[in-house]
Amino acid sequence: MGKKAIIIGATSGIGRALAEQMSADGYTLGITGRRVALLDEIKGTLPSETFIQQMDVTDTEAAAAGFASLVKEMGPVDLVIISAGIGHPNPGLDAALELETIETNVSGFVVIAGVAFNHFKEHGKGHIVGISSIAALRGGSIAPAYGASKAFVSNYMEALRIRAVKKKLNITVTDVLPGFVDTSMAKGNGMFWVAPVEKAAAQIITAIRAKKSRVYITKRWRLIAWVLRILPEWLYAKS
Ligand SMILES: NC(=O)c1ccc[n+]([C@@H]2O[C@H](COP(=O)([O-])OP(=O)(O)OC[C@H]3O[C@@H](n4cnc5c(N)ncnc54)[C@H](OP(=O)(O)O)[C@@H]3O)[C@@H](O)[C@H]2O)c1
């Protein structure tokens, strides 16, 4: 039987590119996002069987119910990719912007990761992929809640990986840490090594096939990650 995947946040950017490439590869897909008109439009262009579910991950109860209703339509799935995420430069530390980031990237992530993990536990196997960020590695002065939310995401995925090992569950968890990818989210100055979204998606799919625990996108960002980890704070503050 062909493989089935749900992509949370597939109306644009990385999630949409993953949907396009995985559909071409024969995956049956469940795609979600808030913009239902885009979900309809994308469904019309994808070559494989596709189910759509409008979902705002910040409405956590409705998001869990939306996930359950997708699974009911599709049957058990093999893979859940959580790409939904936002980030705002926040020079004034506007609380509303910080909280919106936390509700989407933290609360929204937790609710979907939880229902996906329990779905895979029930069905004996599965694979969760979360799109974190290089921003997870250090505090980010321009968008503090963004980096902190991604640190949460990466830490949470490590927790789920260890839980799966301890409970002897056949559940893979892949933490994806992109640098800059050319999507509507990546705006502003000071960007470098910006990857085309198709290239980022292709490398994510390769990492999924290899069942990696952690992957930097594109590969060269592994170098930046290494530097970020060892840089003392006084020097990091000058960057
Ligand atoms: N682009 C980069 O340089 C970069 C770098 C590192 C990490 N990332 C991460 O990659 C992921 C995808 O971002 P992207 O670059 O592809 O940006 P994007 O084009 O803006 O895509 C974001 C996706 O998330 C969905 N989304 C946002 N808020 C949502 C909500 N409340 N409920 C449900 N879905 C929601 C959007 O769908 P709707 O608007 O239709 O809801 C959209 O499909 C994010 O987690 C981001 O943090 C991106």
1 pLDDT above the threshold of 70 = no
233 pLDDT above the threshold of 90 = yes
Q: For Cα atoms 95, 98, 102, give the angle at the middle one, nearest 5 degrees.
A: 130
Residue nearest to atom 29 of ligand 1 (CA): 84
| Residue-level pLDDT at 213 | 98
Structural domains in the chain, sorted by start: 4-236 (3.40.50.720)
Q: Tell whether ligand 1 has an atom less than 6 A from the beta carbon of residue 172.
A: no
Q: Tell whether ligand 1 has an atom less than 6 A from the beta carbon of residue 130.
A: no
Distance of CA 128 to the CA centre of its chain: 9
15 pLDDT above the threshold of 70 = yes
Structure tokens at 104: 């989407």
Q: What is the pLDDT of residues 126-185, one digit of tens each?
A: 999 999 999 999 999 999 999 999 999 999 999 999 999 999 999 999 999 999 999 999
- Under the banding of pLDDT at 50, 70 and 90, the label for residue 239 is confident
Name the average pLDDT for the chain. Answer: 97
* H or E element, residue 99: helix 95-102
Q: Tell whether ligand 1 has an atom less than 6 A from the beta carbon of residue 102.
A: no
Q: What is the pLDDT of residues 43-86, one digit of tens each?
A: 999 999 999 999 999 999 999 999 999 999 999 999 999 999 99
| Residue-level pLDDT at 187 | 74
Q: What percent of the chain has pLDDT over 90?
A: 95
Mean local confidence (pLDDT), 103-116: 98
Query: What is residue 174's three-state secondary structure?
Result: strand
- Under the banding of pLDDT at 50, 70 and 90, the label for residue 189 is confident
Residue nearest to atom 44 of ligand 1 (CA): 85
